[in-house]
Structure 1
Amino acid sequence: MTPLLTAEGIDARYGDVRAVSGVSLHVDQGELLALVGANGAGKSTLLRVLAGAHRPVAGAVGLRGDDVTGLRDFERNRRGICLVPEGRRLFASLTVRENLLVGAGSRRPGRWDVDAVADVLPMLRPLLERNASQLSGGQQQAVAIGRALMSNPDVLLLDEVSLGLAPIVIDELYESLAAVRGGGLAVILVEQDLQRTLAVADRLVCMLEGEAVLEGTPHSLTHEAITDAYFGHVATPAGSGPGGDDGGPTTGGAGW
């Protein structure tokens, strides 16, 4: 079966600074793939490459077997790839409803409209007519996710969903994520909290200094292997070929 989304040999830079080097990965329909790694590992840059917001200097991105490397971000959005960037980036002068409707600009058919979004993100329903500038951080994050869903994506790219949010709000967002994944939506998630990541991921890829150094399922990898790869305590990774810009890790109190 052809993977839904693929990246092959991705190299990405900011000027002379290497951010991603030789990374290859794939995600299947309905799968949640987590990207983990320490500060500067290249996770956010890789998401931007997949979304078409950052052009790689080498490598290819494929969607359903078609090469989309040359397509810009709005063109990939129309094909079914949508990025929820770190920082939310809402239109502060618009209401929640209006921000959600912005996401429908791709005009892709599918299950997601304002009511469907409010069903899976229930904190939003009483806020639909409130100005986005009046929302808490967790509410803004829910709007950013809802806006992405309104494009009816096949692949949802989530960058640092829980960054800066209270644990109770994070719990609510992750409960919603389980409902969001229904219907075969593929998710690539960048998350600092390793405990939470391992609880929701089908597979994970650990990045270090721009390279993919470890790949596997949460059940097939030991905590020691993951943390060693995370912090660069191993010279040669297992389960991955070769492959900087993100927040540092948290452990969620798991004793890592």
Structure 2
Amino acid sequence: MTLLEARSLVAGYGDSRAISDISLSLDEGELVAFVGANGAGKSTLLRVLAGAHSPTSGSVIYKDQDVTRLRDFARNRLGISLVPEGRRLFASLTVRENLIVGAGSRRSGPWNVETVLDALPMLGPILNRNASRLSGGQQQAVAIGRSLMSNPEVLLLDEVSLGLAPIVIDELYVSLEGVRKTGLGIILVEQDLSRTIAVADRIICMLEGHVVLEGTPGQLTHEQITDAYFGHSIASFSDTGDLNGLD
């Protein structure tokens, strides 16, 4: 079942265009990963999908409903949740209180404080600690848990591993594997190419606001993704039979 579609999305800031003619689909239980250098437009795309930024043109379709003109809080109530870059927790609230804030959509579903703690066990010992006293990895786990508390069907994850130690990233990705088994559709923005190849069902590489490469991990090599990431030899991708090369 297709959960989310983007059709020819264009968006920017003032006179600067951040994404151009982006189309994608996300199925139930699928993890689609976006990779690309800083400034490629990945975060802008997630914000447009979440309703936090309005596109100049194009449309966002959620479960066959056009939600392009709905704001982020309305999309959250429908089942689309964004874990933003930078986490954006309420520093004066405890971990438990930050999680409860995420339940504001009042959607029914499997996620509550207890099930979030099962999925993200690192939060158990710090449940009553203020968010201002958390490490980066703990903050990221709280941000993911807060989004899960809205009982989404689509989870948008922006830069999960940014600035975190490898051991913490490993722990977060183990937790995310359990989250995936619940059937959520996930769109992930990630800088770590090796980790992306290991977890994604599909990989989409962006460069300067455009999709330049798309395929499954079985179709793409690390070298091809790296070349697309930095804009090398893009033209050659369109001649490869099992890849989708777009500029």
Aligned residues: 242
State the match for 2:174 in structure 1: 175
Structure 1: which 5+ runs fail to align? 244-256
| Aligned 8 A contact 1:35 1:190 in 2 | yes
Distance 1:122 1:31 in 2: 23
State the match for 2:11 in structure 1: 12
State the match for 2:57 in structure 1: 58
Cα offset, 1:65, TM superposition: 1.1
SS in structure 2 of the partner of residue 35 of structure 1: strand
State the match for 1:252 in structure 2: none
Cα offset, 1:241, TM superposition: 6.8
State the match for 1:246 in structure 2: none
State the match for 2:28 in structure 1: 29
1:221 aligned onto 2:241? no
State the match for 1:152 in structure 2: 151
Distance 1:157 1:46 in 2: 10
Calculate the TM-score normalised by the size of structure 2: 0.95
State the match for 2:130 in structure 1: 131
Distance 2:153 2:245 in 1: 26
| Aligned 8 A contact 2:213 2:246 in 1 | no
| Aligned 8 A contact 1:24 1:241 in 2 | no
State the match for 1:249 in structure 2: none
Distance 1:195 1:108 in 2: 35
| Aligned 8 A contact 1:23 1:242 in 2 | no
Distance 1:184 1:235 in 2: 34
Cα offset, 1:39, TM superposition: 1.6
Going from structure 1 to structure 2, the CA distance change for 1:58 and 1:26 (only over 3 Å counts) comes to same
Cα offset, 1:235, TM superposition: 3.8
| Aligned 8 A contact 2:79 2:152 in 1 | yes
Matched residue type, 1:180: V
Going from structure 1 to structure 2, the CA distance change for 1:67 and 1:242 (only over 3 Å counts) comes to farther
CA RMSD of aligned residues (A): 1.1
Matched residue type, 1:29: E
State the match for 1:247 in structure 2: none
Quick one: higher RCO (CA 8 Å, sep 6+), 1 or 2?
Answer: 1
Give CA-to-partner distance per residue, 1:132-167, whole Å, 9 cap, x none.
111111101000000000000000000001101111
1:162 aligned onto 2:181? no
SS in structure 2 of the partner of residue 4 of structure 1: strand
State the match for 1:41 in structure 2: 40
Distance 1:57 1:146 in 2: 32
